[in-house]
Amino acid sequence: MKSAVHSVSASRSQCLDVERNGARAIQFGPERPRVLHLITNFDIGGTERQAVELLNRLDEKRFDARLAVLWWRGPLRDRIAARFPNAPEFPLTSFYNANAVKQLLRLREMMIEERIAVLHAHDFYSGVLGATAARLSGTKVIAAQRHLRLSDRRIHDWGTRYIHKLAHRVLVNAEGIRDHILKMGSADPEKIVVIHNGLNAPANAQSLRKHQREALLGALGLAADAKIIGSVAGLKPVKGHRYLLEAAARMMKTDKRVHLVLVGDGELRGEISARAAQLGVGARTHLLGHREDSAQLAAAFDLAVLASLSEGLPNAVMEAMAAGSPVVATAVGGVPELIKDGETGFLVPPADAAALARRIEFALSHDDQSDLIATRGRRFVIERFGMERMVAAVERLYDEVISGSQNG
């Protein structure tokens, strides 16, 4: 099969122009190890954002990074297309039909032909397909997991265990996920590697907050004294919007200046709008949909809130903290690795609208304390979650897996 990725062998003393995924690139001799990144798509999400940042920053002099997808689509695709304009697709409609076998064999053949050293699978579906194909081709596997559990479905639990069994390393972005995997018993401790998400922090949070707040208030037609409770999250059940809406409604009934701004889109959009109307706060609940500038928009919030029932290490919390916004979030997954209650943010138990309302009320009514906590939170994430640190850690992991210094 003609490969979707073309390579030209370079001499050890030369740098040659070569084609890769349809683009011109520089190949440095001696030949660099080839790392194939496989991801489901480039829809909006934390996994996809982190993949884009990693792929755009990997050292081309050290690694020959390549990209394949299950579906070459999604709003974030444009951010990676310059480097990988024609990523090959391996579309799946099911794991239980002839097409799944076809895509498995195509991927296996590609990895053999391209002499891929490491497969880096970024999510569940790419992990199932990619880890299987990689093992059949003799390719080492790094399988990423950025959630505690994908769903309550048994097939997702089985698939996760299957991926862990095949992977040489399981890459997670939070200690909480590592602990969960160990509790599951699906991977040995030495196989699990924790590398926290990378963060692009704004240089001047105060200026950004002033500018973004003015812009948001103007766009929504709100008065200068409005209080904005904001949340950046996909509109799906696991994000806990029902509890956030109930908590925010309590605040709106006692303070007419309070508005709720939801950034993100998803299956629950209609349900959330209807529930807001039932609670009598529809006019003060603003659904902005998908926003490319969500990280910057978080700077406009008087209070950023994440009400998730389950999380990995949420980018939304990190980005709000980096923007200098005080944060209230549920103590799930890796969130406590970001927020120490009362010091770098506020924690509440999940699925508890009353507790969430109390924390929101406290944060909005104690400006000086919230500002101090926000300042500490910003300092904390900037010091510990730099983007370059994340990329360097992943590159070290590639070196380790390629060298076989520790076999999974």
How high is the pLDDT of residue 252?
96
pTM of the predicted model, to two decimals?
0.84
What's the token pair of residue 269? 């959009």
- Which single residue is written with the structure tokens 């081309």? 60
Q: Quote the percentage of the chain above a pLDDT of 70.
A: 92
CA dihedral 201, 205, 209, 210 (to 10 degrees): -140
- Which single residue is written with the structure tokens 């926003």? 291
Chain-wide mean pLDDT for the chain?
A: 91
Q: Is the predicted pLDDT of residue 137 greater than 80, yes or no?
A: yes
- Structure confidence by residue, pLDDT tens digits, 191-225: 999 999 999 998 899 999 999 999 999 999 999 99
Q: Where in the chain is CATH 3.40.50.2000?
A: 15-198+387-403, 205-384
State how far the Cα of 389 lies from the Cα of 54, in Å rounded to an integer: 11
Name the β-bridge partners of 345: 341
Residues listed for the chain: 408
How high is the pLDDT of residue 31?
87
Q: Please, what's the b/e burial string for 316-334 (b: 16 or more CB within 10 A of its CB; e: otherwise)?
A: bbbbbbbbbbbbbbbebbb
Cα–Cα distances in angstroms (integers) from residue 61 to residues 20, 21, 142, 224, 267, in the given order: 14, 17, 21, 51, 43
**Contact 65/37 with Cβ under 8 angstroms?**
yes
What kind of fold does domain 15-198+387-403 have according to CATH? Rossmann fold (3.40.50)
Nearest to 292 by CA among 85, 87, 42: 42
Name the β-bridge partners of 144: 171
How high is the pLDDT of residue 28?
52
Q: Is the predicted pLDDT of residue 7 greater than 60, yes or no?
A: no
State how far the Cα of 241 lies from the Cα of 247, in Å rounded to an integer: 10
How high is the pLDDT of residue 363?
98
Nearest to 315 by CA among 78, 160, 323, 236: 323
Q: How confident is the model at residue 104 (pLDDT cuts 50, 70, 90)?
A: very high
**Contact 326/345 with Cβ under 8 angstroms?**
yes
What's the token pair of residue 113? 């032909």
* Residue 386 amino acid letter: G
Q: Is the predicted pLDDT of residue 25 greater than 90, yes or no?
A: no
Q: How confident is the model at residue 150 (pLDDT cuts 50, 70, 90)?
A: confident
State how far the Cα of 377 lies from the Cα of 320, in Å rounded to an integer: 9
User: Before 30, cis peptide (omega within 30)?
Assistant: yes
Q: Is the predicted pLDDT of residue 18 greater than 70, yes or no?
A: no
State how far the Cα of 380 lies from the Cα of 35, in Å rounded to an integer: 32
Q: Which residues are within 8 A (CB) of 347 and not within 5 positions of it... i.e. 6 or more apart?
A: 328, 329, 330, 331, 335, 336, 339, 341
How high is the pLDDT of residue 149?
78
Q: Is the predicted pLDDT of residue 254 greater than 50, yes or no?
A: yes
Q: Which residues are within 8 A (CB) of 25 and not within 5 positions of it... i.e. 6 or more apart?
A: 17, 18, 19, 60
- Structure confidence by residue, pLDDT tens digits, 33-67: 999 999 999 998 889 999 999 999 999 999 999 99
CATH number of 205-384: 3.40.50.2000
How high is the pLDDT of residue 151?
80
**Contact 144/167 with Cβ under 8 angstroms?**
no
